[in-house]
Amino acid sequence: MTETAMGKHIVVALAGAPNVGKSTVFNLLTGLSQHVGNWPGKTVEQKTGVTHRGNLTMDIVDLPGTYSLTANSAEEQIARDYLVKENPDVVVAILNAASLERHLYLVAELIELSPRLVIALNMMDVAQQQGKKIDAKALAEALNIPVIPIAASKNQGINELLTAIEQEYRQPAGARELKHIEYGSEILKVINHVEELLDDSITAPYPKHWTAMKLLEGDTQIDKLVMGRAGVGKSSALNAYLRENESAAVTIATLRYEWVERMMAKTQEKPPLGRVSLTEKIDRAATHPISGLFVLLLVFGLIFGLVYSIGIPLQKFLEVHLVESGKTLVNTNLVSAPAWVRSLLANGIISGVGTVLTFIPILILFFAAWAFMEDVGYTARAAFVTDRFMHLLGLHGKSVLPLVLGFGCNVPAILGTRIIDSPRSRLLTIIVAPLVPCTGRMAVVTLIAAAFFGGAAIFVSIGIVIFSLIMLIITGLLMNRFVVGGEDSALLMELPLYHLPNPRIIGLVTWQNTMAFIKRAGTIILAVSLIIWLLATVPNGDINTSVLAHIGKFFEPLGKLMGFNWQVMVALFSSFIAKENTIATLGTLLGGTGAGLNAQLKTLLTPAAAVAFLVVQVLFIPCVATVAAIRQETKTWKWPLFTIAFQLVLSFSLAIIVYQVARLL
Amino acid sequence: MDSERTEEYLEAIYKEQTKGDPASTSFLARDLGVSQPAVTDMLKNLESKGLIDYKSSKGATLTELGVERALGVIRRHRLWERFLTDVLGMKWDKVHEVACKLEHLDVPEVEERLAVILGDTDTCPHGHAIPDNKGNIKKEKAVPLTRFQALQRVNITAIDEGDSRLLAAIEKKGLKPQVIVTIHKKNEDGSLELEAGNRKIKINADLAMALLAEPVSAGQRDTIKEETTLSKLNAGNTCVLKEYTGERNLLGRCLSLGFTPGSVVKMLENFNSGPVLVKVHDTEVALGRDLADHITVTRNENA
């Protein structure tokens, strides 16, 4: 808290489990003032924003979604470290009223940290629909914590929530005594004994009592911290005692759930027995191994249908009106400018970054579809249905979602792997994700196939997609077996209740993802486009004698094995900037565009070489943006370099085989 | 020889301190029906005899000598209760008060002969353990019925005999130690709906607090309540979770999602391969098969 002339500044942290509508509340509170970044040193998204109330400025921090405050995952560690170390002025626990029993557990944990706490009981409307009568007043009395019923999706109760936050903040410290959970004398004895073995210097900044409980609960992060600080003698005594009392973890959790039951008994009237909720009815079809698969295919089919019927035509439109006319504009209006300036603008920036930006409509559709599925609660079902297949590849049911996103662009796919909680499955997903044929690659495939195979082009295109997915599966199996170490992870996730989508949330999520992508295009992609342009221009402005051409010629012997000359090799290399650049580069090298290109392609490649080219194009090293994303998400250069090396070998060796075999036919 | 009054004090302090806390003056005044100053005087007296440690801020705890004496009184009390029911044929809900008078008769020979005539009895008619003549007593693990969850099957092992009216009410409902009941429903006012044998019984919150029970142990389980793993449960069936036997690093996640012992789990989907879908603590949770293989449960066919 800081005091300024403008009034008071306080920090409010939002805590809650996944699927309680926490981000909806956050969005309502902060609107577009929010800032999306990463938690320091973590690949977990950090959202902050500001809201005002009178002369009180509230910095709202959206903590990662957690079921508990034991560090079972990066999210939980972040959430509880934030609460302990940053000491926010007020903590708002957001609970889902429709499954209150599940979410009161987090409150049990929060109470132990004794913050200024306000409870927002979200989805009161959904609970009512299910026939659950919840007495918020009774809950507030039982807990001695303000409880504000809200319905975030309908924008109800937010004002009351803000008032409660302010009141809670304004009341003097210690005015409200939280009712702590009674753990009973037996377990208390054990906790006290652990406390005796600790001292404050060992546990700081964590409270001692709390640390003792976390040690008993088997929290590995706290364990490591304490054992590292305590002397040898002390830590071995502590270790021995903890091992002796291993069952305390279960006892503590059980007692917390008993407490939850007692709170529930005071708060909620059970709906009549035998009443099956709508969610359960839908799930009998949506999670069934067979009908669920049909539902999944139908949903994905709809998304792809949408993308291909709306997104692709829009992309083509932008290509003509943004990239092509942009180039023309530069070349006609800047005649007086030096040739290299025109070339830089037209061939460097516009064809590099501009081309990438033409894919935005497709990405927006994918992002929106993704946000929609997430908001109605379908994504968890998709993960459940596909888990049995994904498991064979060492992947996780949740892997399917980023992979599907990969059809739009591999970059959000890599970022999307954050939803996978097992580090091993996540890494495997990151490694195989670049093998999903993105729209950029499909644009090249479609054009080449159309040039060479006429009416059969559509089948060739579909064949190539299937081929690259088979390669993805084989790669997954290989990596799972030989490359990525560690234990297989088990699936364990909540399936949230279905609910009506909230257009506002879908809009915001789509907007944020799209902006992040545009920002990326403006930085990394721009930089690399310029480098390639430079290579293609230096030393004398003619691509045919440029450094790039020399590189291409150097690799021509390798190209010959696949039936490619150096121009094709250069075009392939240029796909490193962005996959669809292949076409643009070929265009530049051959000095023709559009229909002219088609004819020239036929002189450049034999049909056998064309097939080899399609193969190498879909499997070639990930584009620079994807590589950067892999680096960012794995926090090491090892995996991006590995992916580049692996796909280089994979694409060339398969293309050589395909060409050599096809030539014999 | 201790006076009757002394023995009553020792007994009361013993019972309170086994629950975890020293006996406060206010508690003793209430329990024994005397004024607080009188309690304070008595406690000072007991302290001077070396029977208790007394701190006015916390209350009284028994010394080793005090525990020995208290267990002697409790042993006689519970042996007399047994005698009254087993030999004289009195109803078990009526014997507590009589035994309260008889327990003060401290004649070693009487105590010895009582033990002989009753055979190898180790519990009183209310289900509490009888200390042996060397002062050892079996620790009681039972907890009030209110602590269990709906659909759980428990064995009533003892009854808190503090209130004679409650005892009579419990007796009327046909409940007594060693009766196995299934908790059908827990109501908001704290009352429980039980099933014992084929009878349906409804008890109020006070009765539920006085009934001490343990989860049904292996020997008492009847044929349908077999133990199995969660992965073997068919869709639509309900079970009570016993324990998680898998690796410890996943234990925390299981617990925080509500897979705690005693939790009721309903299987929603299980196709003998791939993940399973269950309902626990009012939410649907998907579990990988390996995980479900490592969760033992007690099947509950009739639920």
Give pLDDT tens digits for A206-254.
888 889 999 998 888 888 888 888 877 788 888 888 888 888 888 888 8
Most confident range, picked from A115-119, A176-180, A652-656: A652-656
Residue B205: inside a domain: yes
- Round to whole Å and give the CA distance between A348 and A327: 10
Which residues, in sequence order, are CB contacts of A465 under 8 Å at separation 6+?
A437, A442
Please name the residues in contact with A101: beta carbons below 8 A apart, sequence gap of 6 or more: A260, A261, A264, A268, B281, B282, B283
CATH number at residue B288: 2.30.30.90
Residue A365's SS3 state is helix
- Where is pLDDT greater, at A377 or B248? A377
CB contact under 8 A, B251 and A250: yes
Tokens read off for A278: 């709508």
The answer to the question of residue B70 being in a domain is: no
For testing the chain B interface, which of A181, A216, A257 should be mutated: the one with the most B CBs within 10 Å? A257
- pLDDT for residue B25: 86
Please name which of B84, B121, B115 lies closest in space to residue B99, comparing C-alpha atoms: B84
Q: State how far the alpha carbon of A189 is from the alpha carbons of A186, A215, A221, in Å.
A: 5, 14, 23
**Dmax (CA) of chain B:** 72
| Residues in B lying within 8 Å of A, measured between beta carbons | 19-21, 147, 149, 186, 188, 190, 243-244, 248-258, 260-263, 268-269, 271, 273-275, 277, 281-288, 290-291
Q: Which residues of B touch A185 (CB under 8 A)?
A: 19-21
Q: What does the pLDDT look like over A7-16, one tens digit per residue?
A: 788 999 999 9
Position A653 confidence tier, pLDDT thresholds 50, 70, 90 = very high
Which among B182, B200, B220 is the end of a domain? Answer: B220
Amino acid at position A582, single letter: T
Smallest Cα distance from B232 to chain A, Å = 17
A454: alpha, beta or left, given left = phi > 0 and alpha = psi -120 to 50? Answer: left
Handedness of CA A249, A252, A257, A260 (dihedral sign): negative
Q: CB B283 to CB A266 under 8 A?
A: no
Tens-place pLDDT, residues A629-651: 899 888 899 999 999 999 999 99
For helices A232-244 and A208-216, what crossing angle results, to 10°? 60
Residue with more model confidence, A354 or A619: A619
Q: State whether B202 and B249 are in the same domain.
A: no
Is residue B69 situated within a structural domain?
Answer: no
3-state DSSP: chain A helix, strand, coil percent, rounded to 5? 70, 10, 25
Are residues A100 and B190, on separate chains, in Cβ contact within 8 Å?
no
Q: Does the pLDDT value for residue A127 go beyond 60?
A: yes
Residue A154: pLDDT band with limits 50, 70, 90: confident
Name residues whose C-beta falls within 8 Å of residue B216's C-beta, 6 or more positions apart in sequence: B153, B154, B155, B180, B225, B298
- pLDDT greater than 50 at residue A376: yes
* pLDDT at residue number A357: 78
Domain assignment present for residue B54? The answer is yes
pLDDT of the residue at B2: 64
Please name the residue of chain A whose CA is at the shortest distance from the CA of residue B147.
A258
Judge: B254–A68 Cβ closer than 8 Å, yes or no.
no
At residue A95, what are phi and psi to the nearest 5 degrees? -120, 150
Burial readout B30-46 (b: 16 or more C-beta within 10 A, e: otherwise): ebeebeeeebeebbebb
How many angstroms away from the CA of A403 is the closest CA of chain B? 20
Most confident range, picked from A158-167, A173-182, A240-249: A158-167
Q: How many CB atoms lie within 10 A of CB A35?
A: 10
d(CA B100, CA B97): 5
pLDDT at A591: 60
Backbone angles phi, psi at A63, to 5 degrees: -70, 150
Q: Are A351 and A581 in contact (CB under 8 A)?
A: yes
Residue among A359, A288, A365 nearest A322 (CA): A359
Average pLDDT over residues A594-609: 77
For residue B22, tell me if it sits in a domain.
yes
Q: How confident is the model at residue A6 (pLDDT cuts 50, 70, 90)?
A: low
Tell which wins on pLDDT, A40 or A139. A139
Q: What tokens were used for A172?
A: 């003097």
Query: Is A368's pLDDT higher than 80?
Result: yes
Structure tokens at A410: 């591999």
| Contact yes or no for A555/A574 (Cβ under 8 A) | no
**What's the CA gap between B7 and B19, in Å, rounded?**
19
Q: Are residues B231 and B206 in the same domain?
A: no
Give me the domains of chain A, ranges plus CATH numbers. Answer: 2-170 (3.40.50.300), 185-269 (1.10.287.1770)
Q: For residue B303, what pLDDT is reported?
A: 36
Rounded distance, CA B93 to CA B165, Å?
9
**What does B83-98 look like in DSSP terms, one character per residue?**
IIIIIT---TTTHHHH
Angle in degrees, CA B116, B121, B127, rounded to 5: 145
Q: Do B190 and B242 sit in the same domain of this protein?
A: no
Tell me how far the alpha carbon of residue A607 is from its chain's centroid. Answer: 40
Strand partners, B60: B23, B54
pLDDT in tens, A512-561: 888 877 887 777 767 777 887 888 787 877 777 888 888 888 999 999 99
* Residue A661 pLDDT: 93
User: Can you give the pLDDT of all 303 residues of chain B as single tens digits?
Assistant: 567 888 888 988 988 888 778 888 888 888 888 888 888 888 988 898 888 988 877 888 899 888 888 999 999 999 999 888 887 877 788 888 888 888 888 888 888 888 888 876 788 888 888 888 888 888 777 888 888 877 788 888 888 877 777 888 888 787 888 788 888 888 878 888 888 766 778 888 888 888 888 887 545 444 445 688 999 888 888 888 888 888 877 888 888 888 988 888 989 989 888 889 999 888 889 998 888 999 999 876 443
Cα Rg of chain B, angstroms: 23
* Interface contacts A/B by beta carbons within 8 Å: 131
B-chain residues near A101 (CB < 8 A): 281-283
CB neighbours of residue A108 within 10 Å: 22
- Average pLDDT, integer, range A577-601: 70
Contacts of A493 (CB under 8 A, 6+ apart): A380, A383, A384, A397, A398, B285, B286
Q: Which two tokens stand for residue B143?
A: 């907890």
Residue B261: the pLDDT is 87
* Structural domain span for residue B250: 227-300
| CB within 8 Å of chain B, chain A residues 281-300 | 283-284, 287-289
Instruction: Calculate the alpha carbon distances from A113 to A85, A144, A179, A209, A215 in Å.
Output: 11, 15, 12, 10, 15
Do B147 and B214 lie in one domain? The reply is yes
Number of C-alpha atoms within 13 angstroms, CB side, residue B291? Answer: 24
Query: Where would I find the beta strands (DSSP E) of chain B?
Result: 52-55, 59-62, 143-144, 153-159, 179-186, 192-196, 199-203, 211-215, 227-229, 238-244, 264-269, 276-280, 283-287, 295-300
User: Which of residues 186 through 225 in chain A touch B, CB cutoff 8 A?
Assistant: 186, 188, 217-220
Q: How far is CA A603 from the centre of its chain?
A: 44
- The rounded distance, in Å, linking the Cα atoms of B170 and B147 is 18
Total domains present in chain B? 4
**Over 80: is that where the pLDDT of A203 sits?**
no
How far apart CA A572 and CA A557 sit, in angstroms, is 15
Flag whether pLDDT at A2 surpasses 60: no
Q: pLDDT tens across A398-415, in order?
A: 888 888 888 888 888 898
- Give contacts of B252 with chain A, Cβ < 8 Å: 68, 70, 72, 217-219, 249
The answer to whether position B68 is within a domain reads no
Torsion (CA) A414, A418, A423, A428 in degrees, nearest 10:
-30
Question: Mean pLDDT across chain A, nearest whole number?
Answer: 84
Name the 3-class secondary structure at B235: coil
Domain end, chosen from B220, B244, B279, is at B220
* Cβ proximity of B276 and B270 under 8 Å: yes
Among partner residues A105, A284, A495, which is closest to B285 by beta-carbon distance?
A: A495
CATH number of residue B111's parent domain? 1.10.60.10
Q: Is the Cβ–Cβ distance between A107 and A95 less than 8 Å? A: yes
- Each residue's pLDDT tens digit, A466-525: 999 999 999 988 888 887 776 666 788 888 888 888 888 888 888 888 887 788 777 776
Among A496, A507, A382, A510, which residue's Cα sits nearest to residue A18?
A496
Question: Is B231 found in the same domain as B209?
Answer: no
Q: Which of A265, A209, A257 is nearest to A68 (CA)?
A: A257
- In contact, A590 and A549? CB cutoff 8 Å: no
Count the helix, strand and coil residues of chain B and give each as a percent rounded to the nearest 5: 40, 25, 35
Helix (H) / strand (E) containing A641: helix A638-664
Single-letter amino acid code for the residue at A26: F
Contact B80, B98 (CB under 8 A): yes
| Mean pLDDT of all residues in A364-390 | 87
CA distance A158 to chain B (A): 26
CB atoms within 10 A of CB A273: 6
Cross-strand pairs, A394: none
- What are A201's two structure tokens? 């210097």
Peptide linkage before A40 cis (omega within 30 of 0): no
On whether any CB of chain B is under 8 Å from the CB of A75, the answer is no
Same structural domain for residues B208 and B147?
yes
Helix (H, G, I), strand (E, B) or coil at A613: helix
Chain A residue numbers with beta carbons less than 8 Å from the beta carbon of B275 are 384, 387-388, 397, 491
Model pLDDT, residue A153: 80
Both B233 and B205 in one domain: the answer is no
Q: Domain check: are B231 and B201 in the same one?
A: no
Task: Note whether residue B135 is domain-resident.
Answer: no
**Three-state DSSP state, A258:** helix
| Partner residues linked to B201 by β-bridges | B194
Answer whether A525's CB lies under 8 Å from A624's CB: yes
Q: How far is CA A349 from the centre of its chain?
A: 29
Lowest mean pLDDT among A1-5, A9-13, A357-361, A457-461: A1-5
For residue A50, list its beta bridge partners. Answer: A59
Residue A389 and residue A491 in contact, taking contact as beta carbons nearer than 8 Å: no
Residue B137 forms part of a structural domain: no
Which chain A residues touch B274 with a CB distance below 8 Å? Answer: 289, 387-388, 391
Residue A488 DSSP code: P
